[in-house]
Amino acid sequence: MSALSDPHQTSVLFARQPIFDSSREIVAFELLFRPTDGGPMPLPFDGNRATSTVLLNAFTQGDLKTVGQGKQLYVNFTADTLAGEIPFDNVHMVVEILEDTPCTDAVCQRLIELRAQGFTLALDDYTEHDATHPFLPLVDVVKLEYPHYSNDEFYWIITQLRRHHPHLKLLAEKLETEAELEHCLEVGCDYFQGYFLARPQIIHGKPVTTARLTILKLITELNQPDISTRDVAATIERDPALGMRLLRLVNTTQYQRAGEIDSLHQAVTLIGTQRIRSLATLLALSELNDKPHSLRQLALTRASLCRELAIDDPQRSERAFIVGLFSYLEAFFDRPLKDLVAILPLHASINAALLQQEGPLGALLDTAIKLEHGDWNEIPWARLQALGIQPTDVGAANQRALKIVGELQASGGF
């Protein structure tokens, strides 16, 4: 975890404010958006961007367990960000629904889905004077804006919420004095938050650009285990620049079929879902412009070698390509590989290969790495032999991989 208020760090990632129970023990933190330069809030305020920025910056610090010191983390979500996938585990994430979120059928259905997935849901900044809000049956926690009520009004709303929705945990927020805390304790609130208890702590570190989040989401979608041909095409079509580059790539000598391929759906159908996913993933990573071209070349070379080693098994060969490519994810995203793999819905065999170099795919990855380092004698020959791969096959695969990379670079496809 990055140091708090470290003067040597210039970028603000987010603020983190503790949430306490009745014993004044910290039970959770709320993650709050703050401008990276430490300046005033931007106007107009973009809630969608704020949520994405907080989630992305939390991701750069490791998993949520690390960011929250083992406690739950409350994060604000708008209607738009609720609709997207949440790339964090349901144990440590509390989805906090903003008070101005419209109560549409789509939003309500999404809340039902998130609860079914095990997420804790909280309704933020509650200022109603009764217990009829339509989100109340769908959430687990209500955050009451204490300054909005008089003492009698606050007692009344607590009573109504307890009577009509006994499942709810009640959190009093924006507490600024000991007297306010004591009053909230007397009326039976469960949790407490405010400047009197603790001000938000600024977390500094190295932020990751929004482009990285977009690319990570794209890679995640492309590598869903059971994604269909049509879904692959639709995912790529959302990024016109990526789609155009992919079509240019598949029309190079290596991938060309009879006639030019002129649509993404045609490309996916003719070349195959797994191959297109691999190529689109490669191109997505190549959009990280702050990374040197040499890194992309190394990743492509390793991925191509892994695939060529498994050339006789089409399914294994494309998984091998992803293993080789994703073994460089740590360098592309500047995060531990285990953290990145944890949020990608990869096949179990790919995970095992990436993290422990286990299984047939792990043997191929180990071989590629040893070959890169010039450690011919350290190549796991016994494991390769069990896969029917001989030393001459390794040499031939390496030559084919180098030729593929050279042709792609010469054609401008990569």
> pLDDT tens digits for 132-185?
999 999 999 999 999 999 999 999 999 999 999 999 999 999 999 999 999 999
Structure-block tokens of residue 379:
């190549």
Residue at a domain's end among 168, 189, 204: 204
Q: Average pLDDT of 42-63?
A: 57
For residue 129, pLDDT over 50 is answered with yes
Residues 198 and 216 in one domain: no
Q: Which range of residues forms the domain containing residue 38?
A: 12-204
Tokens for 36, please give them: 């990276």
CATH number at residue 106: 3.20.20.450
- Within a domain: residue 276? yes
Range with the poorest average pLDDT among 6-15, 131-140, 170-179, 395-404: 6-15
**Are 98 and 161 part of one and the same domain?**
yes
Residue 209 identity = T
* The pLDDT of residue 58: 61
Pick from 4-13, 59-68, 159-168, 200-209: least confident: 4-13
Evaluate if residue 7 carries a pLDDT over 50: no
The count of domains in the chain is 2
If pLDDT is split at 50, 70 and 90, which confidence band does 10 have? very low
The percent of residues above 70 in pLDDT, for the chain, comes to: 78
Average pLDDT over residues 202-231: 68
Backbone angles phi, psi at 106, to 5 degrees: -65, -40
CA dist 270 and 257 (Å) reads 8
Task: State whether 161 and 189 are in the same domain.
Answer: yes
User: Could you tell me if residue 280 is inside a domain?
Assistant: yes
DSSP state, 42?
Answer: P
Are 364 and 270 found together in one domain?
yes
- Report for 92-96, 177-181, 267-271: range of highest mean pLDDT: 177-181
Of 140, 173, 204, the domain-final residue: 204
Better pLDDT: 100 or 180: 180
